[in-house]
Amino acid sequence: MKIDDIGIEQGAYLVRLARRAIEAYLLDGSKIKVEPPYEILKRNFGVFVTLNKYPGGELRGCIGYPEPILPLYTATIEAAIAAAVEDPRFPPLRVGELGSVVVEVSVLSPLEKIIVDSRQKLPEEVIVGKHGLMIRSGWFGGLLLPQVAVEYKWNSREFLDQTCIKAGMQPGCWLREDVDVYRFSARIFKERTPTGEIVEEMLEGY
């Protein structure tokens, strides 16, 4: 099964699941146990959970699994809790904040290593609005979701540079032969308002 097999019904379930997981954990430290109603959610997928402040949209937490190492519903629960309380960029989310954040779940396709005969051609293989990026080199690694490049209006070269920075390396690190660059796509499901209508975000390139 592929991410294209995940529709709005399954996506909405994941977003509600993420919110329930955060709420339960913040209230009493428990991790919810569920039996998902859709078989595809029991398959392994990479997934990220993002929390944004409402209505301003400022990031409040984002953590996930780049690779499909857990069933999707389990990974969503774990990523949601981590995004709420373990993102080192932010203090742990408080119960009182739940009503002022919107939940977003990005289900990832498998990582695809980009192979080029010249590193200068890497930007040609990155489509803003379609691809997310991950960069790895030794102990260094960083990932940016597809929606980030659209939000900041980066071109493909800027997107590569920013992923280098996220990985703790210098801009332009993607030109080095010892740096591996991966691309992926994502299905993105999000709340319009806290606990409100859930929609699929359709990204547009430019």
CA 190 – CA 51 distance, rounded (Å): 10
Q: How does pLDDT run across 131-148, given as a tens digit for each residue? A: 999 999 999 999 999 999
Class of domain 3-109+186-201: alpha beta
DSSP per-residue letters across 101-167: EEEEEEEEPPPEE---SSGGGGGGG--TTT-EEEEEETTEEEEE-HHHHHHHT--HHHHHHHHHHHT
> Using an 8 Å Cβ cutoff, are 129 and 150 in contact?
yes
Q: How does pLDDT run across 70-81, given as a tens digit for each residue? A: 999 999 999 999
The CATH architecture to which 112-184 belongs is 2-Layer Sandwich (3.30)
Tokens matching residue 194 = 């806290």
**What's the mean per-residue pLDDT of the chain?**
97
CA 37 – CA 137 distance, rounded (Å): 39
pLDDT of 206 higher than 50 = no
Q: How does pLDDT run across 27-43, given as a tens digit for each residue? A: 999 999 999 999 999 99
pLDDT-derived band at 1, boundaries 50, 70, 90: confident
Q: What pLDDT score does 204 carry?
A: 81
Partners of residue 44 on adjacent β-strands: 71
pLDDT of 46 higher than 70 = yes
Q: What pLDDT score does 205 carry?
A: 63
Residues 6+ apart with CB under 8 A from 144: 132, 133, 134, 159, 162, 163, 166
Q: Name the residue among 107, 116, 114 with its Cα closest to residue 49.
A: 107
Tokens matching residue 38 = 């859709």
pLDDT of 103 higher than 60 = yes
> Using an 8 Å Cβ cutoff, are 197 and 153 in contact?
no
Domain ranges of the chain: 3-109+186-201, 112-184
Question: Of all residues in the chain, what percent carry a pLDDT higher than 90?
Answer: 98
